[in-house]
Structure 1
């Protein structure tokens, strides 16, 4: 992806109010940036206060209207408070991007710690449920949009990822169900399923040390090289699709599960 490719403008979101969870880094940070570039005002919601504040400040330094609100998406009290803070600051909610997520590491199911399973489900599936629950009354008022960030691992089986696959499969099913109930109420709900993206989910790669990081990235690069486009995505390539789904350019889309995966789910991964 070239720098020129990254400058393709999104459809206008002028004046729209967006919540992006997990927006302190990676896809969430890129999404917040893309929405602001399209004219939206953005709440950066993240459990990491330091990184979240820095992300919001960076957006403001570049002319955006952004504010950080601390939030653990697995905590109902914090989610409700985050939505209320958004409404108090901006006057409503037009867009909810449920991006916050964790990988949960790699394990066969019979070796998987129960607490790890519960934590992955709490962040990856309970989180979108809670955010939608408290945002939907406002989204119905604004005829707004939800974009859920699922994964190709929610569509296919993947080795050593039972909790992550199950949680992201739940996000896919929840997306379709919410589209059924809330389309007649004026709210569109879609999901993106990224494939291999050059990002460090939950900081897991950073904890490996230099050699571990290099090895982990090499494994991802090798896997990505076997798919049709032959590389990992840049976070901006995912963010641009999310911005499209958040905009009026996708006005007749709801319940759609959009793969942004370099073609990896179209073919066997011969490895």
Structure 2
């Protein structure tokens, strides 16, 4: 990568787009807020009592924190991920803290596994009220002509096809409960950044599918999408390494001058899933700390 490209990336905030998720959604924290802890993701404590929440990709990062937050709010959480050891660990942590959760290993790229995952949730808990299609991956940056085809296909299959499969099998159950879907995209899905063609294209597809689903099922299901910038997760650490930049450089273009914490993203997801957002559907929510989108 040339010095010009790296400097351009830092000044425009492009790297933040590959970090998946970002800053303030609810206005509860300010730019000077210290890093929060996982236990702070809960707010009221009972908004999802007797509700069933399905989450993809909840073995780490945003998915993990959001699963814990829903459980702290009284929800019964059914989640998947490819790494069984991490999934079982998250399940144990939620149960040890008094919450209800079940992990099932599944790969969102595989239609049969996604169908079994959704049906397993309903078999276990009897219903489905909220689906957070969160699973996603990234790859090291490259210009379009240098992008590996297999990497591009994997991004599309995981980030875009995975969300499509999730909604395909979730919607029949959510129609019965008049539930809600929240999909996880990125600011990179609606703002063009160099060197992330597969990531950006896959997240653009998520945004478009969300709007289509809201049009098709708006009478019975609320469907929204979050489009975050950078979040302090394992993916954020990989981004710094892959792009050869520091966190200080990455957040230099953020108006809030800091990276988001995953707890802040969880609060946004919980709000969108709650009755407080009862007339909100078909919307893209940029969570980028003040204006990267």
TM-score normalised per structure 2:
0.83
* Residue matched to 1:139: 174
| SS at 2:223 equivalent | strand
Distance 1:221 1:250 in 2: 34
Aligned length: 258
1:262 aligns with 2:262: no
Compared CA separation, residues 235 and 7, structure 1 to 2 (3 A) = closer
Query: Could you tell me whether the CA contact under 8 Å between 1:125 and 1:171 is conserved in 2?
Result: yes
Higher relative contact order (CA 8 A, sep 6+): 2
Distance 2:279 2:110 in 1: 33
Distance 1:230 1:31 in 2: 24
Query: Could you tell me whether the CA contact under 8 Å between 2:232 and 2:259 is conserved in 1?
Result: yes
Q: What's the C-alpha RMSD, in Å, of the aligned pairs?
A: 2.1
Distance 1:87 1:138 in 2: 8
Structure 1 segment 4-83 matched on structure 2, within 5 A: 6=40, 9-10=43-44, 12-83=47-118
* Residue matched to 1:113: 148
1:226 aligns with 2:253: yes
Task: Report deviation, 1:217.
Answer: 8.3
Q: How far does the alpha carbon of each residue in 1:102-147 deviate from its partner, in whole angstroms, 9 at most, with x for none?
A: 0122111111111111100000000010011011100000101000
Compared CA separation, residues 70 and 100, structure 1 to 2 (3 A) = same
When structure 1 is superposed on structure 2, of 5-14 and 90-99 the one drifting more is 5-14
Distance 2:103 2:114 in 1: 13
Distance 1:85 1:221 in 2: 43
Distance 1:106 1:66 in 2: 36
Listed as ranges, the gaps of 5+ residues in structure 2 are 1-32
Task: Report deviation, 1:264.
Answer: 3.7
TM-score normalised per structure 1:
0.90
* Residue matched to 1:269: none
Listed as ranges, the gaps of 5+ residues in structure 1 are 267-271
* Residue matched to 1:179: 214
Q: How far does the alpha carbon of each residue in 1:134-182 deviate from its partner, in whole angstroms, 9 at most, with x for none?
A: 1110000010100001001112111210000000011111111100001
Distance 1:52 1:127 in 2: 18
Compared CA separation, residues 200 and 252, structure 1 to 2 (3 A) = same
Query: Could you tell me whether the CA contact under 8 Å between 2:132 and 2:184 is conserved in 1?
Result: yes
Compared CA separation, residues 133 and 227, structure 1 to 2 (3 A) = same
Query: Could you tell me whether the CA contact under 8 Å between 1:221 and 1:232 is conserved in 2?
Result: no
